[in-house]
Amino acid sequence: PTSCSWLNAVEGFFAKLTRQRLKRGVFRSVVDLQEAINRYVAETNARPKPFTWTADPDEIIAAVRRGHQALDSIPSASRRARRRRRDCNPAHWACAS
């Protein structure tokens, strides 16, 4: 599931960079833009905050199972959706360990 993907943290970082540094900025050249990005990265690295996982894995797995049950109850569910359900075994998730 994408909810446990490391990519979400990367996307969050770029969203924060955009909101806090780039959105209302005025950059007269690519070099100015690069300098603004580099300053933001340096400032962020100067005061790091560790990521703390707050979601309960059992609740996530239960929600996924409820979703699968809802999909299975639809008579016209496609074979592909049923195949995805089979492939969505928590034992295969990279974040399950």
pLDDT tens digits for 18-75? Answer: 999 999 899 999 999 999 999 999 999 999 988 777 888 888 889 888 888 888 887 7
Q: Cα 51 vs. chain centroid, distance in angstroms?
A: 13
Helix (H) / strand (E) containing 13:
helix 6-17
- pLDDT for residue 85 is more than 70: no
- pLDDT for residue 96 is more than 50: no
- pLDDT for residue 90 is more than 70: no
My answer on whether 44 and 63 are in the same domain is no
Q: Amino acid identity of 64?
A: V
My answer on whether 34 and 69 are in the same domain is no
My answer on whether 36 and 61 are in the same domain is no
Q: Do residues 40 and 21 make contact, with C-beta atoms less than 8 angstroms apart?
A: yes
Number of separate domains in the chain = 2
Q: What is the pTM of this model?
A: 0.51
My answer on whether 23 and 70 are in the same domain is no
Q: Which domain holds residue 61?
A: 56-83
Specify if 34 maps to a domain. yes
Residues 6 or more apart whose Cβ sits within 8 Å of residue 95: 1, 4, 5, 57
Q: Do residues 1 and 85 make contact, with C-beta atoms less than 8 angstroms apart?
A: no
My answer on whether 29 and 44 are in the same domain is yes
Q: Amino acid identity of 72?
A: D
